[in-house]
């Protein structure tokens, strides 16, 4: 009988500890600094190449999925998503951030590497302003890699690779493409 009581006590103690120990993680607040910006592409216009800051008061960013469905019949095909950034003269050379949820909302689990981006601006000269914006840069490809690192209670995402392939205009010529490693140089400078 005494063996049975000590077995019950041991079993209850182990069961209680088994229920309490996993709960310690639930009380932890995970601090993952920079995780929300880990995949972000940061762009800035060169003040040397764009000396007229009124050129940069309206920036248009279009996002196309990498797989484009052509229009046919009643299907309108793939249309780009468009975000227009209106900026003051003081903000003209501020960083533009393209991220998984900025300036476009995230669709399902697709990250920003599932899209192609067109960044355009409206030149102030000649007057009157052009009705259509001109190309600043086209981001044809984004290559992202990352790891989930954790200690049992907290898991944080760390970006290990961020590379973009860009060009200056709408023609997809191989000779005009430039590849930039944003891990080495975190901000891509847009030049003319």
pLDDT, tens digit, 9 for 90 and up, residues 144-171:
998 888 777 888 888 999 999 999 887 7
Angle at the Cα of 142 from the Cα atoms of 47 and 102, rounded to 5 degrees: 70
pLDDT, position 21: 47
H-run or E-run covering 81: strand 81-86
- The answer to whether the beta carbons of residues 142 and 41 sit under 8 Å apart is yes
Whether the predicted pLDDT of 2 surpasses 70: no
pTM above 0.85, yes or no: no
Alpha-carbon distance of 150 to 176, in angstroms, equals: 41
Give residue 20's pLDDT band: very low, low, confident or very high (50, 70, 90).
Answer: very low
């Amino acid at each position: 009988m005494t063996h049975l009581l000590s077995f019950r006590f041991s079993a209850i103690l182990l069961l209680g500890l088994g229920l309490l120990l996993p709960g310690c993680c639930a009380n932890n607040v995970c601090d993952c600094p920079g995780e929300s910006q880990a995949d972000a592409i940061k762009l800035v216009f060169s003040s040397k190449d764009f000396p007229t800051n009124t050129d940069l008061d309206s920036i248009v960013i279009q996002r196309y999925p990498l797989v484009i469905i052509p229009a046919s019949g009643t299907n309108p095909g793939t249309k780009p998503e468009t975000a227009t950034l209106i900026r003051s003269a003081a903000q003209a050379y501020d960083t533009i951030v393209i991220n998984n949820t900025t300036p476009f909302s995230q669709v399902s689990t697709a990250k920003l590497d599932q899209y192609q981006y067109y960044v355009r601006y409206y030149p102030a000269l000649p007057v009157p302003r052009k009705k259509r914006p001109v190309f600043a840069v086209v981001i044809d490809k984004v290559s992202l890699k990352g790891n989930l690192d954790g200690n049992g209670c907290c898991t944080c995402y760390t970006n290990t690779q961020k590379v973009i392939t860009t060009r200056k205009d709408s023609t997809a010529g191989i000779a005009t493409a430039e590849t930039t490693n944003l891990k080495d140089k975190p901000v891509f400078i847009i030049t003319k």
